[in-house]
Amino acid sequence: MAKYRVTIGKHFAVDGVEVEDIDAVERIVALDERRLLARNQARITYGVLGVMTCAMCVAATIGWQDGSYNELNTVWNAGGIWVGMVLGRYFKKD
């Protein structure tokens, strides 16, 4: 048995909370949806950039070994549009 009984203030009771301002709840929900959308867009961006970086490194290595960098040009022509699409969102004006 403990020698001392430690208590801090009164017991905390959790009751229902009445929301008077519905607009505040709607703004919070909209903010959370924008946050989730931004997180998903960032994941897609990192994925596309990661795949393109790996593909460019492989193509550059192949080009370095055979002396022509035609593979690098092909990879950039195929993936440049995807890089532009995912990075375009960061540079657009609101």
CB atoms within 10 A of CB 72: 19
Tell me, yes or no, if the pTM score tops 0.85: no
Per-residue pLDDT of the chain (94 residues; tens, 9 = 90+): 557 766 677 766 666 667 677 787 788 889 999 999 999 999 999 999 999 999 999 999 999 999 888 999 999 999 999 999 999 888 877 6
Instruction: Please give the pLDDT value at position 21.
Output: 73
Cβ pair 76, 83 in contact under 8 A: no
Instruction: Please give the pLDDT value at position 89.
Output: 84
Give CA–CA dist 20/24, Å, rounded.
9
Give CA–CA dist 62/77, Å, rounded.
17
Q: What 8-state DSSP symbol labels residue 81?
A: H
